[in-house]
Chain A
Amino acid sequence: MAKASTRSNRTDTYLSRILGAMGLLCALLLVLVVFFLLKEAWPVVQSGGWLRFFHAQGWYPLEQLFGMLPMIWASIAMALGAILLALPIGVASALFLLFYAPPSVAKIYRLLLNLLAGIPSVVFGLWGLTELVPIIATWHAPGTSLLAAILVLTLMIIPTVALTSVAALSAVPKELHAGAQALGLTRKTRIMSVIIPAAKAGIISGALLATARALGETMAVLMVAGNVVQTPSSLFDPVRALTANIALEMAYAMSDHRASLFAAGLLLTLIVWGLALIASRIVKSNGKVLAYAK
């Protein structure tokens, strides 16, 4: 008996060590990722050259001009446009799911949202290129444009916004629903003036995560945006996103050019992390707001 128990204790110790080592490995993965990004981007960063990402006149790798600003603007314009469209539609989807649809319809609708979330970005790109772009081209050539990128990204992040909003809205205490109902408020007022304010933090943090996703998206944007390096001045301009630029040029980039692409990747990662950090802060600070409903 005693022997058996020491044996099993030993198994436990070994297991604990092995699993702990795996945990360490995971933590090291982040160090590795950052290290290799920095290492590859170093030639440009170290020579103080990173300032030229913002100052250089345009992106002409062959002439050693690595001005990223037009692409940064394009990426930001796409992500902002997409979240501006996806936020109302996504929140409306969540409201439909929770407060308007009968249970059976709600179940199907949730399935649809999950299906939409599961469609690969390259498939969205293909659809955008062959269906959406020709339609936009009839209004304004060439069709591959900032607008096309915004619309495709909107579709891609609607599920994120909708599902995070569903989580936030269903966490609203039922006492608030009852209170609003007992005052004879209409469903619209209950939702807009009571339920949404109570779920605001969760909805906003979901929206930030969705924005981050739109910023980091590569393939769909690469396929529909037209990939001309220029600062967007209208919705119909073909533009190139930071991510698309990496995908387009990595195959043949050498030395400083390659380093600039890694630097672009680093920049992108920092922006996305910033958004995620703000999102988690918002959720944390909201923890105490609804504390009364314990």
Chain B
Amino acid sequence: MTMQPHSPTFTLGQIEQGPPCCEPIPHLSIKGLSVRYGAQTVLDEVSLDIYKGCITALIGPSGCGKTSFLSTLNKMTDAISHAHVTGSIHFDNNNILDAQTNVLQLRRRIGMIFQKPNPFPLSIERNLELPLKEHGIKSRKVRKEKIEKALRDVGLWHEVSDRLNTSALALSGGQQQRLCIARAIILEPEILLMDEPCSALDPISSGIVEDLIIRLRGDYTVIIVTHNLAQAKRVANYAAFFWMKERVGKLIEFGQCQHLFDTPQHELTAAYISGAKG
């Protein structure tokens, strides 16, 4: 199976294509994943494959477990004391959910971008230097190179190269979010998790970040939660539709983005994308 060519309906402008797009090789293989917070099940028996180099959009109404799903993938759920995760997530022949998984290493390979930009209250440079140092890159020169490359990758370099030592909090919202993406990709992760990365930004910044996400395709496997169906159509290769049944989140439909939007298999999906529900 080859990748669907971009249909004009959901391509935004002319995007420079990097390496050939995604291939249907499972990068993450999720089987029977359930998440409970205390007695409340928020996600029930989700199984799907995330394909390498592709952008997978998770869509659905609020509270249907999309964000919970996303945070199990890099074990952010560990921080929630009453969270209980069952099932399996295979990544590189290992089950992420195994207790012996090295969480720090895992998070180096699976980066995450949050809804609200969260640069640390440090200088721009220090924001990027911190993860590099932490993951054992001792040479100052190598770090400088990597910082420049990451900033170029997110299109920030020419905007901030003359003020790397100023506080990251002085940047605009859109710039902050791109800095956060730079901070995540500087560790050269294989997978990027994005939790509504554009929803806290103004339309113009949002457009820039969206372009950036599209450019990441091929180099990174991206899983993006979005409430913006148009955005999902524009950026994603695959889409997964979540819905809440009796207060429990379930995966309703998963497939190629275009197919899911054009010919939804499930009536709930059809209702949601046509705006009748949700």
Interchain CB contact (< 8 A) of A183 among B107, B122, B167, B176: B107
B54 touches A (CB below 8 Å): no
Chain A interfacial residues counted at CB < 8 A: 23
| Also in contact, A292 and B107, with CB within 8 A (given A178-B118, A194-B120, A198-B120) | no
Would you call A189 and B134 a contact (CB within 8 A)?
yes
Report yes or no: B76 in contact with A182, Cβ–Cβ below 8 A.
yes
The verdict on B252 contacting chain A, using a C-beta distance below 8 Å, is no
Contact across chains for A183 and B116 when beta carbons are under 8 A apart? no
Q: Are B118 and A184 in contact (CB under 8 A)?
A: no
Residue of B nearest to A188 (CB): B134
**B273 at the A interface (CB under 8 A):** no
Within 8 A of B (CB), among A269-294: 289-293
For the complex formed, measure the closest distance between the CB of B254 and the CB atoms of chain A, giving whole angstroms.
Answer: 24
Looking at the assembled complex, report how far the CB atom of B64 sits from the nearest CB atom of chain A, in whole angstroms.
Answer: 20
Judged by a CB distance under 8 angstroms, whether A185 is at the interface is yes
The 0/1 profile, CB within 8 Å of B marked 1, for residues 94-116 of chain A is 00000000000000000000000
Q: Say which residue of A175, A185, A189 sits within 8 Å of B114 (CB atoms).
A: A175
Q: Is the CB of B111 within 8 A of A292?
A: no
**Nearest-CB residue, chain B, relative to A187:** B104
Q: Is A135 an interface residue (CB 8 A)?
A: no
Per-residue CB proximity of A149-186 to B under 8 Å, as 1/0?
Answer: 00000000000000000000000010111111111111
Q: Is the CB of A289 within 8 A of B121?
A: yes
Report A-chain residues with C-beta under 8 Å of the C-beta of B117.
Answer: 292
CB interface residues, B 100-137, toward A, < 8 Å = 103-108, 111-112, 114, 116-122, 130-131, 134-135
Would you call B130 and A173 a contact (CB within 8 A)?
A: no
Complex partner residue of B122 from A173, A181, A193, A292, CB under 8 angstroms: A193
Pick from A177, A181, A292: contact of B169, CB under 8 Å:
A292
Contact call B118/A176, Cβ cutoff below 8 A: yes
Once the chains bind, are A184 and B187 in contact (CB under 8 Å)? yes
B46: min CB distance to chain A, Å: 21
Q: How far is the CB of B84 from chain A (nearest CB, A)?
A: 18
Given A189-B134, A292-B169, decide whether A184 and B105 contact each other with a Cβ distance below 8 A. Answer: yes
With A183-B183, A183-B187: A197-B130 Cβ-Cβ less than 8 Å? no
Residues facing B in A191-231 (CB within 8 A) are: 193-194, 197-198
Q: Shortest Cβ distance from A290 into chain B, in angstroms?
A: 6
- Counting CB contacts under 8 A, is B184 at the interface? yes
- Asked whether B251 is an interface residue with its Cβ less than 8 Å from the other chain, the reply is no
> Closest Cβ of chain A: how far from B12's Cβ, in Å?
27
- The winner among A176, A184, A186, A290 for most chain B CB atoms within 10 A is A184
CB–CB A179/B120 < 8 A: yes
User: B114, B134, B167, B176: which contacts A184 (Cβ < 8 A)?
Assistant: B134
Judging by beta carbons under 8 Å apart, are B184 and A184 in contact?
no
CB nearest neighbor in A for B180:
A179
B142 to chain A: closest CB distance in Å?
18
Shortest Cβ distance from A192 into chain B, in angstroms? 10
Asked if A184 and B121 make an inter-chain contact with CB atoms under 8 angstroms apart, the answer reads no
- As a 0/1 sequence over residues 138 to 179 of chain B, the CB contacts with chain A under 8 angstroms (1 = contact) are 000000000000000000000000000001010001001000
Q: Which residues 65-92 in B have Cβ within 8 Å of A in the complex?
A: 74, 76, 79
Cα(A183)–Cα(B74), bound, Å: 10
The distance in angstroms between the C-alpha atoms of A180 and B76, with both chains bound, is: 11
Is the pair B118, A193 in contact by a Cβ cutoff of 8 Å?
no
Q: Sample 28 A-B pairs with CB under 8 A, ordered by A number.
A: A175-B116, A175-B118, A176-B118, A178-B112, A178-B114, A178-B118, A181-B76, A181-B79, A182-B76, A182-B111, A182-B184, A183-B107, A183-B108, A183-B111, A183-B130, A183-B131, A183-B134, A184-B105, A184-B108, A186-B104, A189-B130, A193-B130, A198-B121, A289-B121, A289-B167, A290-B169, A292-B116, A292-B176
Pairs of residues from A and B, 6 with the lowest C-beta to C-beta distance, nearest first = A184-B107, A182-B112, A179-B118, A175-B118, A184-B104, A184-B108
